[in-house]
Amino acid sequence: MQIGFLLGSIVKIVALLAYLYGLMWVLGHRNKFVKIGGVIVAFGVIQLALTDIGGFRLLNNFDEGLLYQACAISMVALGLNLIYGFNGQFSLGQWGFYGIGAYCAADITWRWVNGDARGLIVVGAGTILGAFVIVGIGRWMRRFPGIPVLSQFTLYLIGVIFAGAVAVQIGAALNPMFEPLLGTNLNPGPWNSPGVMQVVFFLSVLFAGIFAAEVSFIFGLPVLSLGSDYFGIATLGFTIVVNVLMVNSDTILPFPEMKGGRGMVGIPKLTTWFWAFFFLVLVIIIMRNFIQSSTGRSVISVREDEIAAKAMGIDIAGTKLLSFVIGSFFAGVGGAVYAHFIGFLSPGTFSFLAGFNPLIIIVFGGLGSMTGTLAASFGWMFFLEGLLRVLLGQLGTEAPSWRFVLYPITLLLLMLIRPTGLLGKVEWGFLKSKTIVPRFKSKTDAIESAGGLGRGD
């Protein structure tokens, strides 16, 4: 056992947790200049650690890979915590949306570098048209309250399929215009330059997240009417179906470039620390602001007591569906970031057994705690998948598989010792709930208000 490696890994884990604390602190600072400057410094610190200076790197290639994977799994786990921890809907489908986002974004960029713009055009047009169709049908159905859920599902499904068919025709019509500009993988054209590829990558991640969100909307509309346990079983089935489609993507689905069970190769490695940091911070900001909004409070109230929430006029079904869609969007974005780091996608990565990883992470960190999810995600990746895997690997070729035995044992001990998770309801800096302090125009108003409260008014 390498003592130096062990101590160095522990120091890196502690430093990363301190880094997360500092990032949350600067994001929560009132001064916008301190906030912007702090975020830039936070980005620069890791970028410097990844830079080779005189043949030395503070974070080596192995650490860099763990860092990108930690950012991706953090987005997936935050989305699941929104669905389960904050909204109370037990879901095992998050890994399926993670895989959808990964394959969707990878197919866009793979086609682009190989002289085919249809991936970007079809997915982009399809997601935009699909969004308009979903919003339009939703507004139309508000005129006719009481429509059965399955009837709503049928209308939405027909509308989305129609939008997809139109997007395919748009892609076929516009693709010849792009071919001279794209060139081929061996002879790239002007639109395959590094600058253009960064724009294409950004769009692919965005469209992959939206596509995963729209799929979750169609899927969640009928199944969210089930009870929490049955909903969990339905989402598990969804993950299995998605995995089967991945295995047969070159036969059942018209995507020979995905190569089915053999795995998709040749994905451009476009994920950098800038993009991983950018999308992680974006997801954190979106989720934090959503949770602390009035709609987010409605999401939490549904978790606490559906009957009381309904009595207060909250749309229970709509609130559940909204949290499910947003959480799936985060998973799709995380999958897109992961795909362009690893450069290879295998259906085995998205099996239903691996789908328990984000669930274990949010339970470790604490249900309903964004801070706990972030800390557990980075700790999970650097300790369990990094340090522990390497140390077990020194004991034999089969020893690393024993970490799958240690996971449930550790989880069981945690549930016995600290059922609320490692951090419970603790939030750091930017993620803390706002404290509302009543304001009074004068001391007289404050005294009168205190007197009224004392009389039970």
Statement: residue 46 has pLDDT above 90: yes
Average pLDDT for 300-327: 91
Q: What is the pLDDT of residues 141-197, one digit of tens each?
A: 988 888 888 899 999 999 999 999 999 999 999 999 988 888 777 778 888 888 999
Confidence band of 384 (pLDDT split at 50, 70, 90)? confident
Torsion of CA 105, 109, 112, 117, to 10 degrees: 10
Would you say residue 167 lies in a domain?
no
Mean predicted lDDT score pLDDT of the chain: 87
Cα–Cα distances (Å) from 298 to 223, 226, 373, 405, in that order, read: 20, 20, 21, 39
- Of residues 455 and 310, more confidence is placed in 310
pLDDT score at 137: 94
Residue 451 pLDDT > 60:
no
User: Is pLDDT above 50 for 73?
Assistant: yes
pLDDT tens for each residue of 82-92: 999 999 898 99
Residue 312 lies in a domain: yes
Sequence-distant (6+) residues with CB within 8 A of 266 are: 110, 185, 343
Has residue 411 got a pLDDT over 90? no
Please state the pTM of the whole predicted model: 0.91
Task: Please tell me which of 132-146, 207-221, 423-437 the model is most confident about, judged by mean pLDDT.
Answer: 207-221
Of residues 134 and 445, more confidently modeled: 134
- Residue 364: closest CA among 352, 348, 346, 381: 381
Residue 407 has pLDDT above 80, yes or no: no
- Which tens digits make up the pLDDT trace of 214-253? 999 999 999 887 776 788 889 999 999 999 999 998 888 8
What's residue 454's pLDDT?
A: 45
Confidence of residue 403 (pLDDT cuts 50, 70, 90): low
Q: Residue 30 is which amino acid?
A: R
Q: What's the rounded Cα separation, in Å, for the pair 80 and 123?
A: 24
pLDDT (0 to 100) of residue 448: 53
Name the phi and psi angles at 423, rounded to 5. Answer: -105, -5
* pLDDT over 50 at 457, yes or no: no
Q: What's the confidence (pLDDT) of residue 182?
A: 86
Whether residue 446 is contained in a domain is answered as yes
How far from the centroid of its chain's Cα atoms is residue 44's Cα? Answer: 23
Higher pLDDT, 226 or 444: 226
Q: Check whether 104 has a pLDDT greater than 60.
A: yes
Q: At a CB cut-off of 8 Å and minimum separation 6, what does 317 contact?
A: 224, 225
Comparison of pLDDT for 260 and 454, the residue scoring more = 260
Residue that wins the pLDDT comparison between 354 and 176: 176
Residue 357 pLDDT more than 90?
Answer: no
Q: pLDDT at position 29, please?
A: 87
Residue 455: its pLDDT value, please? Answer: 44
Count of domains for the chain: 1
Average pLDDT over residues 54-79: 90
pLDDT band of 387, cuts 50, 70, 90: confident
Position 153 scores a pLDDT of 93
User: Worst-scoring range by mean pLDDT, 250-259, 261-270, 334-343, 381-390?
Assistant: 381-390
- Is residue 6 situated within a structural domain? no
The pLDDT value recorded for residue 415 is 79
Q: Can you give the residue range of the structural domain that contains 341?
A: 63-115+183-454
55 within a domain of the structure (yes/no): no
Q: How far apart are CA 246 and CA 259, in angstroms?
A: 9
pLDDT(443) > 70: no
pLDDT band at 8 (very low <50, low <70, confident <90, very high): confident
DSSP at 146: T
Q: What pLDDT does 188 receive? A: 80
Which CATH number is 420's domain given?
A: 1.10.3470
At residue 164, the pLDDT reads 95
Q: Is 224 a domain residue?
A: yes
Lowest mean per-residue pLDDT among 147-161, 167-181, 341-355, 412-426: 412-426
423 belongs to a structural domain: yes
Residue 407's nearest CA partner among 337, 357, 366 is: 357
Looking at per-residue confidence, does 385 or 430 come out higher? Answer: 430
- Whether the Cβ atoms of residue 221 and residue 321 lie closer than 8 Å to each other: yes
For residue 198, tell me if it sits in a domain: yes
Higher pLDDT, residue 427 or 441 = 427
Over residues 309-314, the mean pLDDT reads 89
